[in-house]
Structure 1
Amino acid sequence: MTLLPSHGRAFSVLLLAHAAVRVSRADVEDWAQAASDRAAQWGRRLDALTTARALFAHGLAEQTREGVRLGHALQALPVMESGAMRAAACLLLTASPPPWLSQAIRAGTVVRDYIPGNDLKVLSWLEPGLDALLLDVAVRHRAVQEDAWRERLGEAAEAVVLSALRRDGRKAIQVSLVSPAYGYDVEVSGPPTERIEVKGAGPETSGSFHLTRHEFDTALRHPDSFCLMQVVFHSCAFHAEVLRAEHVADVKRLTPQALRSIVPEDNATFAWERSALLRPSVSVWQPSALRPAADFTAPGLRRRVDGHSTCGG
């Protein structure tokens, strides 16, 4: 179900958060009953059980052996000095964005013509700050979508590199599945050991990539064994249900020395902490002979909404 935050549903969320933040609740029924018991007479008419089940379904709470466990977002509501109802509404919209949200946000503004009248009526209690709330939720939703998309693209690129290495008889391990602490994605047995950070791209993003500070520091610690590889996919890969070898347009690499040359040094006025978007010049990239096996397959990159053109020829 979509968690459109009516005033009653947001209030139910607050009651549920208060009912479980300090006292363990055995299960969803016990949790909902405790929330109803906390309510005034009118509040007891709210369907706390349905809301509680929806919070479980959207990962905002979970059932454990010890009882109901609240997610961090729910735990924060009872300790808020003000704005808890609005925060509850934001939490619900973020966990379950309404299907019209992306259409209703145009050039940084809310176009209410795209919002169903009944939904606007349900959300009217959030006026006059409704537009600002929807914009905030849309930004968060897009960030989550982009992170998930980059992860999918990265996994596809790693699959290409692993196929290519194994095709060449190399023993490669996908350490990204073990832990992000490695600071790279693929380790190739030596001697010498090779450490490969893999990035994926399409025709329009070829040559650019996001790099975390941890990945960068790892490159500098291993200047002789680290390299960054970018797998560039043809545009038709972004419509494909299954990736094959012919979807790979190019594989190229960067050395740690090249990375060092394009990243500014930390100084008194600048420090890079988490991640950065890098766009090295074409001249610093080196070609790679790695190509996936002829029978290579991997999950496709088809997106629900995409703007990529199809492959020519």
Structure 2
Amino acid sequence: MSSLPGNGTLRAALRWLVQLRTADVARARALFIHLPRFADLTPFQYAEGLMWLRRQGLVTEFGRLVPGEHLEAMQGLASEADPQVAEAVSALSGKVSVSHRQQIGAAGEEGLVALLRGATRAQVCHVAAVTDSYGYDIQARLPEGETAHIEVKATTNPHSLIVHLTRHEFETMRRDPYWVMAAVLVGPGAVVSAVATVSRRWLASSVPQDRDSSGRWESVRLCVPREALSVGIAQLGLRADGAWGLKLVTPEVAGVAGSNGSPFVSSSQLG
């Protein structure tokens, strides 16, 4: 991301981000020109603000807002400028980031359900589609009886893995021997492109400790290191070609041959 523009341009950019959530560029520009509450900035500043957003990849050439990590980067830049601008950007990026995470989370869950049904012999139930009370998202059971209660953490970032763990999910892990956290990489088109299991031991050692009975943590953000990941979901025989970010394959125990005669098949072949 390039250097931070002046506060006027940055305020204009923020207003574009707000308006483009519900309006197109032409309508937003008309609002900026004709409504008195927007008259503190010039048409040139609004034009500069939109150009800057496009250069940063925050707005497409068609005038559509691009949610996700770019807004978090803008929040970091804005924090170096006018405090009012930083506060407004923080509020906006928080709202958009939550919505973005929900969309990616749903895509990860649905994609993993489809993958498990197509690539393993497990009976699969998407319990989170009915209720969030279980403390996990997917229940899968092989004919031999091997069971996994899978909490899905989806991301679009193939380079680093950050997960948000609730206290309810953590307590479920502590009492449920079948509980598994599966990290799911969601690629273009909401296609699942990798799956890895996060170590239960690492999770247990990484959450905060309650200091006394007057307070307790309810949610925690964790940056998962590579050494805490193992490819696929071992309980179900779901394997991958390698480490985080590589293609998914079906388990050897499923006996499914890929197009090249290998007992493995990539996620693209499952689609």
TM-score, length-scaled by structure 1: 0.47
CA deviation map 1:102-131 (0-9, x unaligned): 89xxxxxxxxxxx9354453799xxxxxx9
CA deviation map 1:136-192 (0-9, x unaligned): 665433222111111111112112321221121211111111111111110113524
Residue identity over aligned pairs, in percent, reads: 21
2:127 equivalent among 175, 197, 200: 175
- Aligned partner of 2:76 in structure 1 is none
Unaligned runs of 5+ in 2: 1-13, 21-30, 41-81, 233-238, 241-247, 249-266
Q: Does 1:281 align with 2:225?
A: yes
Cα distance in 2 for partners of 1:102, 1:271 equals 40
Letter in 2 for 1:262: S
Cα distance in 2 for partners of 1:165, 1:146 equals 28
Cα distance in 2 for partners of 1:181, 1:173 equals 14
1:186 equivalent among 127, 138, 148: 138
Cα distance in 2 for partners of 1:230, 1:266 equals 26
- SS of 1:161's equivalent in the other structure is helix
Cα distance in 2 for partners of 1:134, 1:269 equals 39
Q: Does 1:146 align with 2:97?
A: yes
CA deviation map 1:233-291 (0-9, x unaligned): 4xxx3xx4x3446xx1x211023322101113211399543321101322121111163
Contact preservation (8 Å) 1:244, 1:295: no
Q: Does 1:197 align with 2:156?
A: no
- Aligned partner of 1:307 in structure 2 is none
Letter in 1 for 2:103: R
1:230 equivalent among 179, 183, 197: 183
Contact preservation (8 Å) 2:135, 2:172: yes
1:166 equivalent among 111, 117, 124: 117
Letter in 1 for 2:92: H
Q: Does 1:294 align with 2:245?
A: no
Aligned length: 173
- Aligned partner of 1:72 in structure 2 is none
Cα distance in 2 for partners of 1:100, 1:286 equals 39
Letter in 1 for 2:269: A
Cα distance in 2 for partners of 1:243, 1:268 equals 43
CA deviation map 1:9-35 (0-9, x unaligned): xxxxxxxxxxxxxxxxxxxxxxxxxxx
- SS of 2:220's equivalent in the other structure is strand
Contact preservation (8 Å) 2:207, 2:220: no
TM-score, length-scaled by structure 2: 0.54
- SS of 1:232's equivalent in the other structure is strand
CA separation of 1:263/1:271 partners in 2, compared to 1, >3 Å: closer, same or farther?
Answer: farther
Letter in 1 for 2:91: R
Contact preservation (8 Å) 2:128, 2:136: yes
Contact preservation (8 Å) 1:206, 1:232: no
Letter in 2 for 1:169: R
Cα distance in 1 for partners of 2:115, 2:201 equals 24
Cα distance in 1 for partners of 2:93, 2:114 equals 32
Cα distance in 2 for partners of 1:293, 1:189 equals 24
1:213 equivalent among 157, 162, 167: 167
Cα distance in 1 for partners of 2:185, 2:191 equals 13
Cα distance in 2 for partners of 1:269, 1:278 equals 23
CA deviation map 1:46-74 (0-9, x unaligned): xxxxxxxxxxxxxxxxxxxxxxxxxxxxx
CA separation of 1:149/1:121 partners in 2, compared to 1, >3 Å: closer, same or farther?
Answer: closer
- Aligned partner of 2:54 in structure 1 is none
Larger Rg: 1
* 1:131-142 → structure 2 map (5 Å cutoff): 138-142=89-93
- Aligned partner of 1:116 in structure 2 is 32
